[in-house]
Amino acid sequence: MSGHVPITVTGGAGGVAASYDDLLSLGLLYRALGAELAGAAWHDKLEAADGDLVLSSVLAPQTFAAAESAILAATYGPHGLVSRAALVEAHSFAFAAVVELYRAADALQHAAYEAMSYGLGVTIGAELVPIAVTGGLAYLVARRVSRTLVTDLDVVAWAEANPELVQAVVNGGGGLLDGLALNPVSGPLMGALGLDGLHLTTGSAADDLGELLFGDYAGTAVPTTVDEPYDVPASVEDLIRDLAATAGEGDGEITIQRLTGPDGETRWIVHLPGTDDFVDQHAIRNLGSNLNLIAGDDTAYGQAISLAMKQAGVQSDDPVLMVGHSQGGMQAAALSADPDFRYHVTHVVTAGAPVGTFGIPDNVSVLSLENSADLVPSLDGEDNRASARHTTVRADVRTGNFDAGAGNHGLDLYADLAGTVDGSADPSVRAAIADLEQSGFIGSTDAESQTFGYRTEVGDLVRPADIADRSGNVKTAA
């Protein structure tokens, strides 16, 4: 796969959002130029009152008049500095207005998509019983008529071919719950479960489901031995390969790599694998923590990562790169966006992770790798924000299954995609890789590497009011 798979790139230094920023910067330059021209006009106007020039009017009145006329024409005339300054200022406002117009149009389009997704969810939820009955009857008829037809109804293939529709359905998850609450058959059950409130977003639906199905736990981190310490990564592919090695160490495992430059400057790479067990209440990376992350809540995983970083010796001002797969990528995005997180996350690299809703700040550089046939990146119901600092690279590789080991969501697939990224000539990709290199996270031939392993685990069960925050402190209710 490496180097041969077509990719599409959104965001980054060559994306539309970067062009918006360039337009605004150009507008600011025009505004500064306008002010400079206006200042020059005022200075030249003062030349008209120069003492020597005024005294010359006695000896050469005609020459004096011509000089005065020329100065005034150059400053306040139709083609003078003042009119030029006004024109340049007008251009600066025009640039700002165009950017605001484009951004308003983007916001309106997004609002329309949100409303459509919510409405789709409500419709499906309200009509789920007749849909299920009709679908079941259709299946039985098809089975009697043609077993081949039933075999061809491959859900995996359908999902692989329709990722945008899957994303829209997921984005309408709140509407689905609200529709089920409106359904006369399922409504009483939804009320009994406490799911009959209003859920305008996928996050609010995930919040209620997570609270219903899973408890809230504190997180702990236990040091472990890393059999094969990681070398200084030379590429994005090396980052993902090291992440795959971390995932292979076992449930709950993470690794923290310290890179020390010849000048003594220290930077860190934190490798965060994804979900270990969806249904195990005591797995720190389970469905419950996925739901908590989509809802914007704190997790035991996040607290355990913070505790592990403290044990490894990470200082609050050390540059940190977080590399995460699936839930690990979500957690990396959440920590980078959390103002209470005590560490300085400067870069995030994600593989197969839904990170479009975390509000990652613009001072964090993000490189997201996604496979269009992988459903997981769509589970937040949103596209990634195409900002100048967030580059998303997508491939379209269909394996026929969603397995996290070797399927559409597998780390081997994403490591191969990372190899393609390393060889890409796309300007946004090249800028993202150059940023990682200049920051010392990849390609440093004279740095020293040390690898620390930790097993993250759930600790005590806590009430929602006692949930541990991502800074590693536990907020205990009175």
Express each pLDDT in 167-182 by its tens digit. 766 676 777 777 777 7
**Residue 304 sits in the same domain as residue 449:** yes
**Residue 263 sits in the same domain as residue 398:** yes
Element (H, E) at 77: none
**Residue 227 sits in the same domain as residue 349:** yes
Q: Where is the domain boundary, 80, 109, 138?
A: 109
**Residue 97 sits in the same domain as residue 222:** no
**Residue 379 sits in the same domain as residue 251:** yes
Cβ proximity of 269 and 398 under 8 Å? no
Residue 167 lies in a domain: no
Residue 133 lies in a domain: no
Q: Rounded distance, CA 267 to CA 257, Å? A: 8
Q: For residue 401, give Cα distances in angstroms to 14, 22, 149, 167, 427.
A: 33, 42, 20, 18, 32
Q: Quick check: helix, strand or coil at residue 162?
A: coil
Amino acid at 64: F
Per-residue confidence (pLDDT) for residue 437, from 0 to 100: 97
Q: Where is the domain boundary, 109, 136, 165?
A: 109
Q: Which pair of structure tokens corresponds to residue 250?
A: 């076992």
Per-residue confidence (pLDDT) for residue 33, from 0 to 100: 57
**Residue 100 sits in the same domain as residue 248:** no
Residue 171 lies in a domain: no
Per-residue confidence (pLDDT) for residue 91, from 0 to 100: 56
Confidence label for 9 from pLDDT (cuts 50, 70 and 90): very high
Q: Rounded distance, CA 374 to CA 413, Å? A: 10
Residue 396 lies in a domain: yes
Average pLDDT over residues 96-115: 60
Express each pLDDT in 184-195 by its tens digit. 778 787 787 777
Q: Where is the domain boundary, 88, 109, 130?
A: 109
More confident residue, 13 or 317: 317
Residue 325 has pLDDT above 90, yes or no: yes
Question: Across the chain, what does the average pLDDT equal?
Answer: 78
Residue 286 lies in a domain: yes
Per-residue confidence (pLDDT) for residue 259, from 0 to 100: 98
Per-residue confidence (pLDDT) for residue 467, from 0 to 100: 44
Residue 198 lies in a domain: no
pTM, full prediction: 0.74
Print the domain residue range for 376. 8-15+217-466
Angle between helices 16-47 and 61-76 (to 10 degrees): 160
Determine what percent of the chain is predicted with pLDDT higher than 90: 42
Residue 475 has pLDDT above 50, yes or no: no
Residue 117 lies in a domain: no
**Residue 255 sits in the same domain as residue 385:** yes
Average pLDDT over residues 277-285: 89
Per-residue confidence (pLDDT) for residue 113, from 0 to 100: 59
Residue 118 lies in a domain: no
**Domain count across the chain:** 2
Express each pLDDT in 332-390 by its tens digit. 999 999 999 999 999 999 999 999 999 999 999 999 999 998 989 988 888 898 788 99
Strands 216-224 and 253-260: unpaired
